[in-house]
Amino acid sequence: MEAIKKFKDSVLSLFGFKSNSKYVRNYLNEANVRSSIYMAAIIIVLEIWMIIRQFQRYIIVFLSYDETKYAAFHEAGYTKAEFFEYYYDKWGYSGHLSYIFNSISFYLIFILAAVAVLIYAISYFKNTAYHRNKKYTIANIIISSICILWIFMLIPQKIPTDNIGKWTTILMYVSLMVLGATILLNTIYTSIRIKARNILSIVVISSFACLCLLFGIKIGYSDFAHTTENMEKYYMITCFLTMVIFVSCLLIFKPYISILMNTTIFVVFAMMLDSFEGREFLDGDRVNYITFLVSLTMITISIYQQRVSEASKDRNLEFIASFDELTDIYNFQHFCKEIIEKQTAHAESIKGWIYLFFNIENFKAYNDKRTFEAGDELLLYFGHDIRDEFLDGITARQGDDHFVVFAPNDDIEERLDVLSKRLKNLDPELKLELKVGSYIPTLYEKPNRAVDKARYACGSCKNRYDKHYATYDDAMDSFFHKKQYIINNLDRAIEEGWIIPYYQPVVWSNNKKLCGCEALARWKDPDYGLLSPKDFIPILEECRLIQKLDVCIWESVCKTLRSLLDSGERIVPVSLNFSRIDFELMDVPEIVEGLITKYKLDKRYIHIEVTESALSDSQSKLEVALIKLKSLGYAIWLDDFGSGYSSLNVLKDYEFDVVKLDMKFLTNFDDNKKSRSILESIIDLSSRIGMNTLTEGVETNSQADFLNDVGCGRLQGYLYGRPITREELLDGIHSGKYVIGDILE
């Protein structure tokens, strides 16, 4: 029994009676569309060749027409047509071009159909739901309209009177009409942002296949009919056979459809030949004919089976590629893919859905304290929790401790509460916090952009104990646009000179004379006005673009120093800011040296400021570069000391010329006795290990006096001037507002 069932199953699937998965169906359809590109291309070439042949015949006859020879024929009582048939070629007797046009109109139909299919098939692959190329849409509309109009032009013309001629002609017209109409329909359908339906492709390809088969029948049959008795064989019947092979091997739907189609067309053709009076369809030919049909059927089945097995393999691979290895839920690529599929096929079903972006705060601490394995396990559990809570939506992991969800906008806050509690319970001691950002997209918004916005909303809850959930709002939106603007326009801003350094004075604390200045970037934007570093520096650092801006500022400063020297001004050293990313992405010493050489400057006029946070996660590249710069003779300044998790090791491990104390130390200066003691100790400590000090953010005289008393060498802050333009600084020097002190220690 079991064996019989197995046998039955395998026979059914052999002939394609088993239904395929959607994936396999799409795969088969795509394979057919791809094949039709080749089919159409071959047909175009062949038919152009045919047309050329027709003209060639006409031209040959026309050129070699011999009046005297014809006169002899005429006298013997033959007609002009007979004369032509005897001497040249019966087709050559047109005498009139209209005959030729009549005979090529048939080829033209074919070329038209092939061009239409070619454009259709190419645009099938090139036009995706998001990437619609107008050129293809227009080309499709034009060619399909021509197909339809062409038929209306042909209809009034003479349709052959014999049965075969009449029916093949009518069927060809119908096929071309169906082809044109389906492409037109499909183009309109897809231009409303919906992906093409497979069924439409099947109709397009089938009507084209019909045309091919009709062509085969027509040529094959007429050749059979016109071959005269004294010729042993009819030759062009191979045209019919070729067309059938062509269609059967390239367009594979289901084996039983191919069998049905091939058998029908063979039977019809055999009957046509059989019923033809005047020539016999030989028995031997009939045997050849059937052998041919059987072989073709086997080939068709084999191609079908091959394609199905390829599709299944592909599907398995895709399945593996869809999941996140660690958590076993979808990965981000698959998440996006699934949403795009929904948007293209069932957009209505995701109306009002919402994106959620999840971040686990303190996860790093969890990893540190409980080991990486435990961290991985937590992600696995919690990923499943999120997925189970949003079973009505799509859940994926986006890397690190980030998860994304796209789901119906129902009871979101309640569901998040549940998840948040569950997360806390996973390890109550370590205070894991769930932070979630949400965003309601427009219907066809790209998933990765939408997730960016949800992520951005989530970022607004960062390090805030009172806030766990935020929705993307207008304020965020304008920030988001600004962010995109900055990223997209950095190169332009550099080119157009929108990015310039401002200079903030630095003074000696004992005499308040100018000892240098710090170059601070400003972006003078035509749309957004003057942008300050907090608007663009963090964004450029995040996108690893900051090095472009930094190089621009360094060069601008060097250029300015050179031109001031050239015009006889006295100059002061300038501190340049360096980001961690500069060292990661570029050979900083080489670039700095290049600038110094190019502008022929003394190295002592450049100070290199590196922030403390850049040094915190130790990086060999940065260390090597700093040692190199130091050995080349540049002064290295430690910026923002005390702003983050200061580690005295930084002072121990590196050789700094100046330590810049962060302005944080000066907050509550007047009320907080402790901050004075701390400042005093750090300044003392620095001088003991041979480093000079500078305090940033000096705003009052009492601060300045105190710092001078405890031995801080340099001061910088609004008390002595805000960052100003080069011209303003020069004016200040010329007017005596700033007096240049000793500049090189």
Q: Could you say which of Ca ion, ligand C2E, none residue 537 binds, taking C-beta under 5 to 8 angstroms by partner kind?
A: ligand C2E
What type of residue sits at position 3?
A: A
Instruction: Indicate the residue among 416 and 520 with the shorter CB distance to ligand C2E.
Output: 520
505 interacts with ligand C2E by CB under 6 A: no
516 interacts with ligand C2E by CB under 6 A: no
Binding piece for Ca ion, criterion CB under 5 A, among 291-299, 635-643, 669-677, 733-741: 635-643
Helices in 543-585 by DSSP H: which ranges?
546-566, 580-585
Q: Could you say which of Ca ion, ligand C2E, none residue 614 binds, taking C-beta under 5 to 8 angstroms by partner kind?
A: none
532 interacts with ligand C2E by CB under 6 A: yes
User: Closest distance between Ca ion and the C-beta of residue 619, in Å?
Assistant: 19
User: Closest distance between ligand C2E and the C-beta of residue 335, in Å?
Assistant: 35
Mutual angle of helices 22-64 and 237-250, in 10-degree steps: 150
Among 241, 244, 553, 635, binds ligand C2E (CB under 6 A): 553
- Applying the rule CB under 5 A, the residues between 577 and 616 that interact with Ca ion are 577, 609
Binding piece for ligand C2E, criterion CB under 6 A, among 139-147, 455-463, 477-485, 717-725: 717-725
Residue 630, Cβ density class (10 Å: 0-12 exposed, 13-18 middle, ≥19 buried): middle
Phi-psi label, residue 320: left if phi above 0, alpha if psi -120 to 50, beta otherwise: alpha
Q: How many residues bind Ca ion (CB under 5 A)?
A: 4
Q: How far is CA 51 from the centre of its chain?
A: 43
Phi-psi label, residue 400: left if phi above 0, alpha if psi -120 to 50, beta otherwise: left
Instruction: Indicate the residue among 293 and 546 with the shorter CB distance to ligand C2E.
Output: 546
595 interacts with ligand C2E by CB under 6 A: no
Instruction: Indicate the residue among 269 and 641 with the shorter CB distance to ligand C2E.
Output: 641
User: Closest distance between ligand C2E and the C-beta of residue 713, in Å?
Assistant: 17
520 interacts with ligand C2E by CB under 6 A: yes
Q: Could you say which of ligand C2E, Ca ion, none residue 521 binds, taking C-beta under 5 to 8 angstroms by partner kind?
A: ligand C2E
Residue 465, Cβ density class (10 Å: 0-12 exposed, 13-18 middle, ≥19 buried): exposed
Among 608, 640, 720, 726, binds Ca ion (CB under 5 A): 640
Q: Would you say 189 and 127 are in contact if contact means Cβ atoms under 8 Å apart?
A: no
Backbone angles phi, psi at 360, to 5 degrees: -100, 115
- Rounded to whole angstroms, the Cα distance separating 704 from 707 reads 5
612 interacts with ligand C2E by CB under 6 A: no
Q: Take residue 78 and report the two structure tokens written for it.
A: 């033959």
Among 577, 692, 695, 703, binds ligand C2E (CB under 6 A): 577
Cα dihedral 189, 194, 198, 202, rounded to 10, equals 20
275 interacts with ligand C2E by CB under 6 A: no
- Applying the rule CB under 6 A, the residues between 422 and 481 that interact with ligand C2E are none
Q: Would you say 176 and 3 are in contact if contact means Cβ atoms under 8 Å apart?
A: no
- Applying the rule CB under 6 A, the residues between 615 and 644 that interact with ligand C2E are 639-640
Q: Would you say 681 and 675 are in contact if contact means Cβ atoms under 8 Å apart?
A: no
User: Closest distance between Ca ion and the C-beta of residue 717, in Å?
Assistant: 11
Among 639, 641, 642, 656, binds Ca ion (CB under 5 A): 639
Q: Take residue 465 and report the two structure tokens written for it.
A: 């104990």
Cβ atoms < 10 Å from Cβ of 76: 9
Question: If you ran DSSP here, which 8-state letter would residue 724 be given?
Answer: B
723 interacts with ligand C2E by CB under 6 A: yes
How far from each other are the two terminal CA atoms of the chain, in whole angstroms? 101
User: Closest distance between Ca ion and the C-beta of residue 534, in Å?
Assistant: 13
Instruction: Indicate the residue among 406 and 738 with the shorter CB distance to ligand C2E.
Output: 738
697 interacts with ligand C2E by CB under 6 A: yes
Q: Would you say 369 and 449 are in contact if contact means Cβ atoms under 8 Å apart?
A: no
- Rounded to whole angstroms, the Cα distance separating 57 from 53 reads 6
Q: Would you say 130 and 443 are in contact if contact means Cβ atoms under 8 Å apart?
A: no
Phi-psi label, residue 460: left if phi above 0, alpha if psi -120 to 50, beta otherwise: alpha
User: Closest distance between ligand C2E and the C-beta of residue 511, in Å?
Assistant: 19
Among 22, 388, 718, 744, binds ligand C2E (CB under 6 A): 718
* Contacts to ligand C2E by CB under 6 A: 504, 520-521, 532-534, 537, 546, 550, 553, 577, 579, 639-640, 663, 696-699, 716-718, 723
* Contacts to Ca ion by CB under 5 A: 577, 609, 639-640
